[in-house]
Structure 1
Amino acid sequence: MKSAQLSVLSIRALVLLGAVWLTLPGLALAEKPDDAEALRGVEVGRVVWDINMGDPAKLALYLKVMDETYEDLQRQGVKPEMVLTFRGPSLALISTDHTDVPLDHEPHYEAIAAQIQTLLAKPGVRMEACSIAARLLELDRKTLLPGIAFVGNTFVSQIGYQSKGFANILIF
């Protein structure tokens, strides 16, 4: 009889512990809402990200959001096709030359490099850097992070991808 009472108490304790766990903010894993209405009839999600920013902390954050966007599309049955085009001051953030980078910014540059490699490992992701911006910034194309294609003009890339049905999202 004692073992049956102990078993009932153990089950009640587990149920109570589970209920408390689910009500603690930040600990419960709430199901993420879907985007069913917007994605109705969409089989492939094509986006070209127009990246033109010079803030390393912001870019590191945006790259995480782009990765989450990729995962959200997949989770909802849409095949992601993403192109990240870097122009303007963003080129300095995707360079391996950190000669003039303040020491307190180094972790952001490392986060950017890691997130870029994570994204490039995903099917359907491509990255391009603008040769015009490189020329204006006097940035050596050999210092670009591995996997980023060097193109003549990312404005031309934007025109081409948008003509192929890619949505354009500005990141600045």
Structure 2
Amino acid sequence: MQNTPLWLPALLLALLLPGLASAEKPSTEKPSDTQSLAGVSAGKIAWDINMASPKKLLLYLKVMDETYEDLKRQGVEPDMVLTFRGPSVRLITTEHAEVSLDEEVQREGIAAQLAAMLAKPNVRAEACSVATRLNNVDPETLLPSIEHVGNTFVSQIGYQAQGYATIPIM
């Protein structure tokens, strides 16, 4: 068996290092949506939220917030309404009497995420009175800044007629 000269690994390392150091790192910058946003100045979205999982709702609220920021970053003015219906109305209340401890943390996250979003320009939220009635949610316990409306199906019809894109969150 032949012994490798001690200087050979050092030589290989010296030859490879410049190439490794100059290798481009993957871009951390988010890609743009240039083609889809061509000629668009306002991003009108009516989120149709109908889910029972607090974990999923918290995740989707973060994605909705990222969508808002992505529109702003690309020069499009966001205009968003979050319409809560079905079991989702149970997740946007201050009443947590019969909630497990792990779900309590997620609900606190939901309340904080919603508060941050609703503090932004052109973001508002509605809760369906049909859903609050069917899910035994007292409208007085809805999180601050959430408007209690007659029927979010009617809201969706109105928002679509006004040019809002409906995006279902289920």
TM-score of the superposition, structure 1-length normalised?
Answer: 0.84
Which of 144, 147, 150 aligns to 2:145? It is 147
1:65 corresponds to: 63
Which of 109, 127, 137 aligns to 1:129? It is 127
Q: Quote how far apart the aligned CAs of 1:130 are.
A: 0.3
Which structure would you say has the larger Rg? 2
1:41 corresponds to: 39
RMSD: 1.5
Which of 29, 39, 50 aligns to 1:31? It is 29
1:171 corresponds to: 169
Quote the Cα distance in structure 1 between the aligned partners of 2:86 and 2:129.
10
Quote the Cα distance in structure 2 between the aligned partners of 1:59 and 1:93.
8
The gaps in structure 2 that reach 5 residues or longer are 1-17
One-letter identity of the residue aligned with 1:169: I
2:83 corresponds to: 85
2:73 corresponds to: 75
Quote the Cα distance in structure 2 between the aligned partners of 1:74 and 1:128.
23
Quote the Cα distance in structure 1 between the aligned partners of 2:110 and 2:158.
26
Larger helix percent: 1
> Secondary structure of the equivalent of 1:71?
helix
TM-score of the superposition, structure 2-length normalised?
Answer: 0.85
The gaps in structure 1 that reach 5 residues or longer are 1-15
1:157 corresponds to: 155
Q: Quote how far apart the aligned CAs of 1:100 are.
A: 1.0
Q: Quote how far apart the aligned CAs of 1:29 are.
A: 6.2
Alpha-carbon deviations, 1:91-115, whole Å to 9, x = none?
Answer: 0000110011111111110110000
One-letter identity of the residue aligned with 1:170: P
4+ residue stretches of structure 1 with deviation over 6 A? none
Quote the Cα distance in structure 2 between the aligned partners of 1:53 and 1:164.
25
Q: Quote how far apart the aligned CAs of 1:57 are.
A: 0.2
